[in-house]
Amino acid sequence: MKFSLSTEQRDFAGSLRGLLANANTPAVVRSWGENDTAPGLALLQQLAETGVTALAVPEEFDGIGAHPADLAVAFIELGRAAVPGPLVETAAAVPALLSALNDQQLAKRFLPAIAEGTLASLVLEPSTPRALDADVAEPVLRVSGDTLELVRPTTQLESVDPARRLFEVESVETLAQGADVAAAAEKSYDLAVLAASAQLIGAGHAMIETATEYAKNRSQFGRVIGSFQAVKHHMSDALVAVEMATPLVYGAAISIAEGSDTIARDVSAAKVAAANAAYVASRKALQVHGAIGYTLECDLSLWLTKTRALQSAWGTASAHRARIASAL
């Protein structure tokens, strides 16, 4: 299969990158992690105005109904900028869940507002047992087995990434029950995994770019460290890992769009590869930075913690490898 981004997709990625480059996202991320969500909410509304939150919403519910590859394009840029907030849930998981239900009343109730930028969060048991940023989301939903509930946040929990604010939830209302809820949850999970995989690809690129820029300016023994062969090897290894994982993400997007029998395998393979690539990039970038890369003052730390959290978000590597094995 030969796949390349269309001109429109490249333009969309470029417009998002330009918007986020001017948004001082490191400051936004730090504020979000300190529970000051106002700057982040303003940025998320800007992203909604570009159509990000409408991508997976069907046209009949005031969305765009875009190809999953468009969603991957967007989430690569969101990961590159480390944008905080429940974007996987809002722009992927909840639209996929509600639009796949037999009864479309819930889709009519919630999706038009989500397309306009209202945030949503989702607990999808057992893989995603906590609600991300549930205090700024409406609705917050939970799927357990064949039951879909409206829930509300209770206790905020600590996360390895301070900007991923996790909440325990309690039930408010049962919205739907039945086999179609479980089937819709599977579609929701696959699209969420795709979006998280794309975020990891974007984070990998950001860490490579950050480390490369640092290596161009940091001097040691009278030379910039970027001139050392060992540093070049580190960055090359990281870039190869990210570039090799990227086609699996777009391949999974095509698989979802075509309703392939191999969706589960393809999506899980993308997550495993993207998580590993981002890990390699984080390790190599930290080696280039040295101990300063660990500090909260260094922007690299924002991607290090996000990568660590996203590695297990929407399914651990072992869970996805088991899923791949069962599909073979």
pLDDT at 42: 98
Which residue type sits at 60?
A: E
pLDDT at 292: 72
pLDDT digits (tens, 9 = 90+) for 149-166: 999 999 999 899 999 999
Determine the 3-state secondary structure of 138 from DSSP. coil
pLDDT digits (tens, 9 = 90+) for 60-110: 999 999 999 999 999 999 999 999 999 999 999 999 999 999 999 999 999
Classify residue 220 by its DSSP letter: E
Cα separations (Å) of 315 from 81, 124, 137, 255, 271? 22, 11, 22, 19, 9
More confident residue, 146 or 287: 146
**pLDDT-based confidence at residue 327 (cuts at 50, 70, 90):** confident
Neighbours of 84 (CB within 10 A): 29
Residue 7, pLDDT > 90, answer yes
pLDDT at 2: 62
| Helix, strand counts (H, E) of the chain | 12, 7
Kindly report the backbone phi and psi dihedral angles of residue 172, in degrees, each rounded to the nearest multiple of 5, phi listed first: -115, -45
Sole residue written with tokens 């899980």: 268
More confident residue, 287 or 201: 201
Ordered DSSP codes for 257-324 = HHT-TTHHHHHHHHHHHHHHHHHHHHHHHHHHHGGGGGSTTSTHHHHHHHHHHHHHTTS-HHHHHHHH
| Contact call for residues 321 and 173 (beta carbons, < 8 A) | no
Query: What percentage of residues in the chain have a pLDDT greater than 70?
Result: 93
pLDDT at 298: 82
How many residues can be counted in the chain?
328
User: Nearest-CA neighbor of 249 among 14, 3, 18?
Assistant: 3
pLDDT digits (tens, 9 = 90+) for 200-249: 999 999 999 998 887 776 556 556 655 456 667 788 899 999 999 999 99
**pLDDT-based confidence at residue 16 (cuts at 50, 70, 90):** very high
pLDDT at 217: 66
pLDDT at 212: 86
Strand 219-220 relative to strand 223-224, pairing: antiparallel
User: Nearest-CA neighbor of 37 among 168, 161, 139, 135?
Assistant: 135
Determine the 3-state secondary structure of 115 from DSSP. helix
**pLDDT-based confidence at residue 21 (cuts at 50, 70, 90):** very high
Distance separating alpha carbons of residues 207 and 225, to the nearest angstrom = 17
More confident residue, 316 or 327: 316
Residue 138, pLDDT > 90, answer yes
pLDDT at 70: 97
Single pTM value for the model: 0.94
Strand 140-144 relative to strand 223-224, pairing: unpaired
User: Nearest-CA neighbor of 327 among 253, 248, 247, 268?
Assistant: 268
Q: Distance from CA of residue 233 to its chain's centroid?
A: 28
pLDDT at 224: 60
Determine the 3-state secondary structure of 103 from DSSP. coil
